[in-house]
Structure 1
Amino acid sequence: MLLWFDRKAEIVEASQPLKWPQLPRYDARFKSQNTRLYLAYGSNLCESVFQDNRGIQPISAVNVLVPELQLVWNLPGIPYAEPCYANAQRRLCQNQSLNSNEKPLVGVVYEISEADFAHVLRTEGQGYIDTEVECFRLEQDRKSITTCPDELPFRAHTVLTTEPTTETSDKPRQHMQPSNRYLSLLVTGAREHRLPLEYIISLQSVGTYEASTARKRIGKSLFSFFWFVPVFVAVVLERRMADEHGRIPEWVNRAVSWCFSGMWWTHRFCFKPIFGDGASMRSEAGDGSMQFV
């Protein structure tokens, strides 16, 4: 999880040269038994996040297509600052055309050590489930994706959040928007790994949230003042209490979940009526409630 107090990402313009990650191409014939294949689809695509900030040292990497998943923006973050983060969820019909509205997930599979994989789980935080999915290798610099690659898929680990248990708990999440800072990390990472141009363009088309009015900027400052310490303590608690495999105790997960539920309750009933919506710049729909599972 990336919070508003993490190092600020620089927005990379199309005209600027990018620093390509110097990683050997993954080859299943030479995979070590002491490594894990980890599928990244969010900010971990970006070298400055995955290698510099989190200190992960990938052994190799390969671009992949994951037909059973799609990228969504329904993982709640911090109102007014980082309203939501990227998440992956199952496509309703995994055998449907790749040209359908529910585009399949594109990402990067890193080969990393067991210790680094545990660190990934530890730093991702509560609510994530370690899941194995089928991945198809993609060549770099493709323009678009119309069919699955012909070669056989391989399996990789990734982290998915628990799905909402009711229809009403999912509705508010559909209207959340990421910050420009966070989205720029995904775009930069996609360009660093030379993911398909079509996918990069789809990322660039995602609407972002900004506290664009004086009222919202005041709300952002006050909200950060009240919630900075509780969220910081929750994140530190997660990382300190995780075991050597990156697993977080259930009581810690519950405590952090209560913290975030309280934060979004405060946004809904106290801040949103006064300072405006801190999760989306779209026309407000519904009551703006937020539930955590």
Structure 2
Amino acid sequence: MSSKGTAWQPATQKYFAFGSNMLPATMKSLRNIEPCNATAAILPGFQLRFDVPGSPLLEPSAASVRRTFNPHDVVHGVVYELTESDFDRVGRTEGVPFAYQWETCLVYPYVGDGECAGNNAVGVVAPIEAQTLISGKTSSSRGTIHIPTSPSYLRILRQGAAYWSMDRSYQISLSKITTANNLLVPDGLSGTLLQIAKCVNPKKE
């Protein structure tokens, strides 16, 4: 007996990326993930943090987000639609549940214009439920810790924000973040690792 109707579609997950995964090259070349869909998005009531510790003299920290419940606090990023296997790959490569934990959130998708499309989307477009990554360190004392990240890691965040034409105010805020200056490799390793991945596993962006 032949089946009729709509063809079966595999289940997908929504993932809100705010760090190096905003840059398509990170997802495609470094993570070997091919998103089904992607667009800029804004997450109100959260702050961007650099409190996930790494290697102090090489890559001292990675980004996370922290819930504040203050609507004036916003984080811009990318909401990806991923297959379940690719969503699981994000968790594995990001060190869930040790370095990070999953957190359910509501994000407002927008088409970046480099001005204020993100802030204008809040409360106007329908929010969608997604999963994002918070620090796996749950101690309340970690809430005040800021660990300066490497120049190359922060540069990837800035490149991702520029790629998606995120709000100018957010791009300016990223440009003002200070970075670590006492590293064995002054620029950090993130940029080098991404370049190697792009050579070994080139993907069309």
Per the normalisation by structure 1, the TM-score is: 0.55
> What is the aligned residue count?
174
Tell me the CA shift for residue 52 of structure 1. 0.8
Which of residues 121, 143, 148 in structure 2 aligns to 1:177?
148
Q: Which residue of 1 aligns with 2:25?
A: 48
Q: Superposed, which structure 2 residues align to 1:139-154 within 5 Å?
A: 139-144=111-116, 145=119, 148-154=122-128
> Which AA in structure 1 matches 2:32?
G
In our comparison, the structure showing a higher alpha carbon Rg is 1
**Does residue 109 of structure 2 align to residue 132 of structure 1?**
no
More helix by share: 1
**Does residue 64 of structure 2 align to residue 87 of structure 1?**
yes
SS at match of 2:139: coil
Note if contact 1:80-1:210 (Cα within 8 Å) is conserved in structure 2.
Answer: no
Note if contact 1:38-1:156 (Cα within 8 Å) is conserved in structure 2.
Answer: yes
Q: Which residue of 2 aligns with 1:14?
A: none
More strand by share: 2
Q: Which residue of 2 aligns with 1:68?
A: 45
Q: Which residue of 2 aligns with 1:121?
A: 91
Deviations 1:136-195 (A, max 9, x none): 12231141336724122110112222354243x544x23x20100100110111111111
Alignment partners' CA distance in 2, 1:46 and 1:104:
19
Alignment partners' CA distance in 2, 1:170 and 1:47:
29
Compute the RMSD of aligned alpha carbons.
2.1
Tell me the CA shift for residue 84 of structure 1. 1.0
Q: Which residue of 2 aligns with 1:34?
A: 11
Note if contact 2:12-2:81 (Cα within 8 Å) is conserved in structure 1.
Answer: yes
Deviations 1:3-55 (A, max 9, x none): xxxxxxxxxxxxxxxxxxxxxxxxxxxxx551111111100011221111111
Q: Aligned residues: percent identity? A: 28
Which of residues 168, 189, 194 in structure 1 aligns to 2:160?
189
Note if contact 2:110-2:121 (Cα within 8 Å) is conserved in structure 1.
Answer: no
Per the normalisation by structure 2, the TM-score is: 0.77
